[in-house]
Structure 1
Amino acid sequence: MKKIGFLSFGHWSNHPAYKTRTASDTLLQSIDLAVAAEEIGLDGAYFRVHHFAAQLASPFPLLSAIGAKTNSIEIGTGVIDMRYENPLYMVEDAGAADIISGGRLQLGISRGSPEQVIDGWRYFGYEPAEGETDAEMGRRNAMLFLQRLNGIGFAEPNPYPMYPNPPGLLRLEPHAEGLRERIWWGAGSNATAVWAAENGMYLQSSTLKFDESGKPFHIQQAEQIRLYKEAWKKAGHEREPRVSVSRSIFALVNDQDRFYFGQQGNGADKFGYIEADQRAVFGRSYAAEPDQLIKELAEDEAIQEADTLLLTIPNTLGVDYNIHLLSSILEHVAPGLGWR
């Protein structure tokens, strides 16, 4: 059995072929998509977070709205860039969203990916400490976020407050019980995957990772996951680890599917640079008739290692068509692979 969710980048543009021409379209359709995904039996609704772009950004209003309109589906991010975040305010936002959803938040955080502007976090008022890189600042913010999620008081109370305080040091409110155990780290390298395991975070691994061996993407990603699991076991955490991988997978079951994605199935991994000095490997897309798709996916080692699969979706094509795409995977592909 494998949990299956969708991952939306939340694009919009005033394009005649798009169903999402405005931010309003994307936000409202994201809610509708999560509701419909729950109805067909999908396990998760996840959303990317990008700043300075016509894409979804601040996630907590959206996650809260979805939490209020759904009952069982996991709700998450992939990922929140911690270089842009005030960790303490984020504890309050995340706590509120988790409580509204009844404890279904699965929050993916990370250092983040290359952004639309140069050092965009500076515009948000954040600067690395002296001698610190922006990636280190992101990890430092992540650790403070995790620490304050634990619900232990740390702030000295005012002796003359507006309202009576409970005894002892004060914590942030609202406190969401168990949310600390549902934080995921988006790791682009083997080292950060091990770091995530050591710090008790679940692992999100996307369709891109740093190229550390020149091997095919799914092989490198599978090796990353195994290192993560080994580090988790060595750290002695009592709960079981979770791992998600993202994939672009399209079952071609009608002419519309073939029109949109029929030429993507023959793709291969791509190697390139996401930053000036950082070589990366980008995983291929899968698009084929269901029987062929089952054969190809069975050979993807990283998918086999993960307990959760996030299907990247073309949100600009609208709710109805995306539900068709997701339903096609659930009905025609997942059973053949033992996922359902």
Structure 2
Amino acid sequence: MKKIGFLSFGHWNPEPGSPLRSAGEMLRQSIELAVAAEGLGLDGAYFRVHHFARQMASPFPLLAAVGARTSRIEIGTGVIDMRYENPLYMVEDAGAADLISGGRLQLGLSRGSPEQVIDGWTHFGYQPAEGESPADMARRHAEVFLQMLEGKGFARPNPQPMFPNPPGLLRLEPQSPGLRDRIWWGAGSDATAVWAAKMGMHLQSSTLKDDETGEPFHVQQARQLRAYKAAWAEAGHAGAPRTSVSRSIFAITSDLDRRYFGRGGKERDQFGFIESQRSVFGRSYADEPDRLIEQLAADEAIAEADTLLLTVPNMLGVDYNAHVIESILTHVAPALGWR
């Protein structure tokens, strides 16, 4: 059995002829897709966060709205760039969204990806400390966020407050019990996956990672997941770790599918450089269900993970994306033992 969710990048484009022309349309359709996905039996609705782009940027209003419109499905991010975040304010936002959903938030964090602008986090008021890299700053913000989620008082109360205070130091509010145990880290390397395990975060691994051995993407990713699990066990955390991988998977079951994806997926991994780091990009999958099942059965990382996030083409609309999800749940997942 495997949990299956969708991952939307929340694209929109105001140009004439675009099927999704405004941020408002994108946000409303994201809510409707989560509702439809829950109705189909999907396990999770996840959203990517990018700043300075025509994509999802501010996740918590959307997560709260999805939480209010659904009752069962997990709601998460994949991922929030912690270089841009005030971790204390984020505790308040995350706590509120989690409480609205009844404790279904699965919050993915990361050091971020290549940006639309140069050093975009500086426009949000953040600078790495002396001797610190932007990635170090992101991890520092994440560590503060995790600490604040524990709910311990730290702020000295005003002796003449506007409202009565409980005794002792004050904590951030609202606190959502259990949220600390539902935080994930998006790791691009084996080392950061091990760090996430030591910090007690679950692991998200996408379709891109550092090329550390030259082996196929799914082999390197499966090794990353195993290293993470070993580090979690060594750290002695209570509870079981969770691991997710993302894939673009399309079962071709109609003429419309064939028109969109009939040329197949990117059937080979691609190697290249991102910010001077050699990286490997995982292949995508698009084929008739029988052949798709054979291809996916050979993906070691999917087999290793307990959660699979299906990247969806959100600009093609709610109905088509619901069809994409239903095709995987109906024609592919049972044959692979995911359902």
TM-score range, shorter chain: over 0.9
Q: Which amino acid aligns with 2:316?
A: L
> How far has the Cα of 1:14 moved from its partner?
2.7
Asked if 2 retains the 8 angstrom alpha-carbon contact of 1:19 and 1:25, the reply is no
Query: Which residue of 1 is the match for residue 334 of structure 2?
Result: 335
* Range that drifts further, 15-24 or 116-125: 15-24
Q: Which amino acid aligns with 1:307?
A: D
> How far has the Cα of 1:178 moved from its partner?
0.3
SS in structure 2 at match of 1:114 = coil
Query: Which residue of 2 is the match for residue 108 of structure 1?
Result: 108
Query: Which residue of 1 is the match for residue 286 of structure 2?
Result: 287
Query: Which residue of 2 is the match for residue 165 of structure 1?
Result: 165
* Range that drifts further, 226-235 or 11-20: 11-20
1:54-93 matches, within 5 Å, as: 54-93=54-93
Q: Provide the rounded CA distance (Å) in 2 between the counterparts of 1:81 and 1:14.
A: 25
Query: Which residue of 2 is the match for residue 262 of structure 1?
Result: 262
Asked if 2 retains the 8 angstrom alpha-carbon contact of 1:111 and 1:135, the reply is yes
Query: Which residue of 2 is the match for residue 309 of structure 1?
Result: 308
> How far has the Cα of 1:265 moved from its partner?
3.1
- TM-score between both structures, scaled by the size of structure 1: 0.99
> How far has the Cα of 1:17 moved from its partner?
5.0
Asked if 2 retains the 8 angstrom alpha-carbon contact of 1:82 and 1:138, the reply is yes
Q: Provide the rounded CA distance (Å) in 1 between the counterparts of 2:299 and 2:266.
A: 15
Query: Which residue of 1 is the match for residue 194 of structure 2?
Result: 194
Q: Provide the rounded CA distance (Å) in 2 between the counterparts of 1:266 and 1:176.
A: 41
Query: Which residue of 1 is the match for residue 238 of structure 2?
Result: 238
Q: Which amino acid aligns with 2:323?
A: H
- Does 2:229 match 1:229? yes
- Does 2:324 match 1:325? yes
Q: Which amino acid aligns with 2:292?
A: L
Q: Which amino acid aligns with 1:210?
A: D
Structure 2: state its 5+ residue gaps.
none
- After superposition, give the CA deviation of every residue in 1:178-206 in whole Å (9 maximum; x if it has no partner): 00000000000000000000000000000
Asked if 2 retains the 8 angstrom alpha-carbon contact of 1:81 and 1:112, the reply is yes
Query: Which residue of 1 is the match for residue 299 of structure 2?
Result: 300
Query: Which residue of 1 is the match for residue 151 of structure 2?
Result: 151
State the number of aligned residues.
Answer: 339
> How far has the Cα of 1:292 moved from its partner?
0.6
- After superposition, give the CA deviation of every residue in 1:298-340 in whole Å (9 maximum; x if it has no partner): 0000000000000000000000000000000000000000011
Asked if 2 retains the 8 angstrom alpha-carbon contact of 1:18 and 1:317, the reply is no
Q: Provide the rounded CA distance (Å) in 2 between the counterparts of 1:307 and 1:294.
A: 18
Query: Which residue of 1 is the match for residue 181 of structure 2?
Result: 181
Q: Provide the rounded CA distance (Å) in 2 between the counterparts of 1:153 and 1:20.
A: 45
- Does 2:301 match 1:278? no
Structure 1: state its 5+ residue gaps.
none
SS in structure 2 at match of 1:209 = strand
Q: Which amino acid aligns with 1:175?
A: Q
> How far has the Cα of 1:238 moved from its partner?
1.3
Q: Provide the rounded CA distance (Å) in 2 between the counterparts of 1:89 and 1:205.
A: 26
Q: Percent identity?
A: 73
Query: Which residue of 1 is the match for residue 35 of structure 2?
Result: 35
Q: Provide the rounded CA distance (Å) in 2 between the counterparts of 1:215 and 1:17.
A: 41
Q: Provide the rounded CA distance (Å) in 2 between the counterparts of 1:266 and 1:22.
A: 29
SS in structure 2 at match of 1:128 = coil
Q: Which amino acid aligns with 2:333?
A: A
SS in structure 1 at match of 2:168 = coil
Residues 266, 26 of structure 1: CA spacing in aligned structure 2 closer, same or farther, 3 A cutoff? closer
Q: Provide the rounded CA distance (Å) in 2 between the counterparts of 1:15 and 1:83.
A: 30
Q: Provide the rounded CA distance (Å) in 2 between the counterparts of 1:3 and 1:71.
A: 16
Query: Which residue of 1 is the match for residue 2 of structure 2?
Result: 2
Q: Which amino acid aligns with 1:55?
A: Q
> How far has the Cα of 1:263 moved from its partner?
1.3
Q: Provide the rounded CA distance (Å) in 1 between the counterparts of 2:246 and 2:326.
A: 17
> How far has the Cα of 1:267 moved from its partner?
1.9
Query: Which residue of 2 is the match for residue 203 of structure 1?
Result: 203
Asked if 2 retains the 8 angstrom alpha-carbon contact of 1:44 and 1:74, the reply is yes
SS in structure 1 at match of 2:256 = helix
- After superposition, give the CA deviation of every residue in 1:263-302 in whole Å (9 maximum; x if it has no partner): 1336210000111x20100000000100111110000000
Q: Provide the rounded CA distance (Å) in 1 between the counterparts of 2:76 and 2:266.
A: 31
Asked if 2 retains the 8 angstrom alpha-carbon contact of 1:87 and 1:144, the reply is yes
SS in structure 2 at match of 1:46 = strand
